[in-house]
Amino acid sequence: MNSRIPSTSRRIIETVLVLLLLLGLMYALYDVLKVFFGVFTFAIIFAVSFAKLFERLVVLLGNRRKLAATIYSVILIAILALPFIYIISALNQHVKDVNHWITNARDNGIPGLPAWITGMPYVGGDIASFWQHLQLNPKETAGVYEHQIRDVLHHVITTGAGIIGVALQFIAGIIVSAIFLVSGEKMLSPLYATMTHMFGEKDGHALIDATGQAVKGVAIGVMGTAFIAAVISWIGFTIAGIPFALGLAALVYFLVLIQVGPLWVWIPLVIWMVAQGSTGWAVFIAIYGAGVMVIDGVLKPILIAKSGKLPFLVLFLGVIGGMVAWGFTGMFKGAIILAVFYTVFNSWLEKTKVVERRPV
pLDDT at 98: 72
pLDDT at 71: 92
pLDDT at 140: 67
- Burial code (b: 16+ CB inside 10 Å, e: under 16) for 228-259 equals bbbebbbebbeebebeebebbbbbbbebbbbb
d(CA 84, CA 168): 10
288 half-sphere exposure, CB direction, 13 A CA radius: 22
d(CA 19, CA 24): 8
pLDDT at 315: 73
> How is residue 35 annotated by DSSP?
G
d(CA 76, CA 69): 10
3-state per-residue secondary structure call for 20-32: HHHHHHHHHHHHH
Instruction: Write out residues in the chain with pLDDT < 50, as ranges.
Output: 1
d(CA 89, CA 82): 10
Q: How far out from the chain centre does Cα 241 lie?
A: 29
d(CA 224, CA 246): 18
pLDDT at 65: 87
- Burial code (b: 16+ CB inside 10 Å, e: under 16) for 16-54 equals eeeeeeeeeeeeeeeeeeeeeebbbbbbbbbbbbbbeeb
pLDDT at 1: 46
